Chain A
Amino acid sequence: MNWRKWLDEFVLAAKGITLVTKEKRFWFGFVPAFIFFGVLMNLLAGGFSSFNLMWATGFSGSMQIIGKAFIGLFGINQPFFNWLPVFGIALLQGILIGLIVFLWAKKREQKDSSSNSENIEKAGIITGLIALGAGCPTCGTTLLTPLLGAIFSTGGLAITGAISTIVTCLAIIIAILSLKRLGVETYAIIINDRFLKKRESKRKVKSSNEKSD
């Protein structure tokens, strides 16, 4: 494996992500994904109890719970070390969706027929894996527990901790690798766009000069 090339790609991806923040289309994807995922992670932090409560309290109670999860995303009424992983994962997912939206719009603009479905699939898989591992694995209050309970019966609780750690790590690794790939692609597209625009403006200047001559 060529580590140098691999690291260079990360640098390019970082540059791509920095550049894309100036694009409106990126924010159209980022903002809703960041909010949705952050609120979902906050709701799932205590296992399924928030959803049970929403089920039991009706509309006004549900709105109150969702509102609390929303403000919690910005660290309000949250201990720092509880807030940090939720914010970090929501940020990662937000950037990923933002990049997907940006690339999708660019490809449509350029009438590029290559599909974006693989990226969307990966983002979906990451969301699913992270959501499954959320909660308190040692207490058996993750979304994984009932699933493992259905397969392994009483032994499910004992393996929930290990599996949820593996699942969460796997999701973060896939997210980072996807971010690298999409970041590089974004960088190439933005730089290429800039080059084409520059060439176009040069050509315009040249042709106007020719006309005036």
Chain B
Amino acid sequence: MKKAIRIIGIILVTVVLFATIIISMMPKASEPEDIWDDATTMGNTNAKNHYIIYSDLACPYCIIFENALLSHEEEYQEYINRNNILIEVRISDFLYEYGAHPSPASRLGAIATYCAKNEGKFWDYYNLAIKTIANDYDHYGIGSTNPTAGSTTDEYWLKLGKQVGLGEDFESCYKNKTPLSEIIATARKTLDLVDGMPFFKFNNYTFSGFSPNGTWEDAKMHLDAGLKKK
């Protein structure tokens, strides 16, 4: 009798545990969203498909996903145009604000990217940052510890600015942390919408995370899934 109760208890706890996880992770259908910021979009603003990427430069799987797309940049561009997709990146210092280990790279990377955006070079800077981080930090943050990119310095982000032709205005924006309040507000808005980082909303197809060994083919499968969930 005692054993039967114990087994029933274990089964019940397991079922409740996994039901909670599955229900909260099931794709959520949601209303079409407005664009938060035109400067961080790529493609036609009136496009049929709206793909949103919630990202953080200290998030290893964000880098892996974006780098997988950039590894086939031409194919990716052609895919977006052919399927009439608007890509919107919503970057913030989400992991610095709400993550388990506040990584300075999260905040510094966001400040630098916003400063580049203010100079009209969001995509140049963002894409270069993704490629550089992916190259500099191989196996970037995989595992239970925080990304090694947490050790990045101000010089790291400023150097990227110089590489895309950003000058003194960018540097002073970065040093004065000018866009910080905007970044914090974006992270706050993001918190209400995501389960973790990265988080993707491709039309009505939502998912969080990405395979640590993910390639362009894996990323493309997710892009394709979004087209089916219009």
Contacts and interface: CB of A to CB of B under 8 A. Distances in A.
Interface in B126-166: 138-139, 141-147
Contact of A160 (B24, B100, B213): B100
Given A57-B224, A145-B196, A139 B144 contact: no
Contact of A147 (B20, B26, B101): B20
B216 interface: no
A156 B61 CA distance: 19
Interface in A129-168: 133, 135-141, 143, 145-147, 149-150, 154, 157-162, 164-165, 168
Given A49-B209, A56-B225, A146 B24 contact: yes
Given A82-B142, A139-B59, A165-B144, A49 B99 contact: no
Contacts of B20: 146-147, 150
B21 A158 contact: no
B98 to A, nearest CB: 5
B125 interface: no
A48 B27 CA distance: 10
A139 B211 contact: no
Contacts, number: 159
A136 B141 contact: yes
Contacts of A161: 99-101, 144, 146
Contact of A168 (B59, B144, B222): B144
Interface stretch (A11-19, A71-79, A99-107): A71-79
Chain A contact residues, majority secondary structure = helix
Nearest to A80: B139
A158 B100 CA distance: 4
A46 B195 contact: no
Interface residues of A, number: 51
5 contacts: A57-B224, A57-B228, A65-B221, A146-B25, A158-B99
Interface of B: 3, 7, 10, 14, 17, 20-21, 24-27, 59-62, 95, 98-101, 103, 138-139, 141-147, 191, 195-198, 205-215, 218, 221-222, 224-225, 228-229
Interface of A: 45-53, 55-57, 61, 64-65, 68, 72, 77-79, 81-82, 85, 117, 121, 124, 128, 133, 135-141, 143, 145-147, 149-150, 154, 157-162, 164-165, 168
